[in-house]
Amino acid sequence: DTEVTQTPKHLVMGMTNKKSLKCEQHMGHRAMYWYKQKAKKPPELMFVYSYEKLSINESVPSRFSPECPNSSLLNLHLHALQPEDSALYLCASSQDGLGGQLYGYTFGSGTRLTVV
């Protein structure tokens, strides 16, 4: 299995809802990442998990809450989001861990989130 799987592919949620995005990889990758991408913009890093521990939080608002239950799973819990949080949320993993320099990232196809 050489993929990163993200579910759901599309999500529409109200500003008072609580929802979760899920990301899964079975490649044994040691680091996993959440990126946010607005339309016609590059991806921006949100969180980095290395060996299932949160290593980097790029000053993301607390309405986004990441969780790494095990080495294959990464969740992003969403609560009280704003319309400006509408974006494509991308999960990625890398083979050689946080400080690795040999391999690129494997990205999932993303969850397109719309906050209404």
Partner 1 sequence: SQQGEEDPQALSIQEGENATMNCSYKTSINNLQWYRQNSGRGLVHLILIRSNEREKHSGRLRVTLDTSKKSSSLLITASRAADTASYFCATKGYSTLTFGKGTMLLVSP
Residues lying near partner 1 in the complex (CB under 8 A) are found at: 4, 6, 33, 37, 39, 41-45, 48, 55-56, 88, 90, 92, 98-99, 101-110, 112
Closer of 17 and 106 to partner 1 (Cβ): 106
Q: How far is the CB of 43 from partner 1 (least distance, A)?
A: 5
Q: How far is the CB of 98 from partner 1 (least distance, A)?
A: 5
**Residue 61, SS3 per DSSP:** coil
Cα dihedral 53, 56, 91, 38, rounded to 10, equals 160
Closer of 39 and 84 to partner 1 (Cβ): 39
Neighbouring residues of 86: CB distance < 8 A, sequence distance ≥ 6: 113, 114, 115
Residue pointed to by tokens 């990205």: 107
Q: How far is the CB of 18 from partner 1 (least distance, A)?
A: 25
Closer of 1 and 16 to partner 1 (Cβ): 1
Closer of 16 and 102 to partner 1 (Cβ): 102
Neighbouring residues of 48: CB distance < 8 A, sequence distance ≥ 6: 31, 32, 33, 54, 55, 56, 98
Q: How far is the CB of 17 from partner 1 (least distance, A)?
A: 23
The token duo for 48 is 């980095």
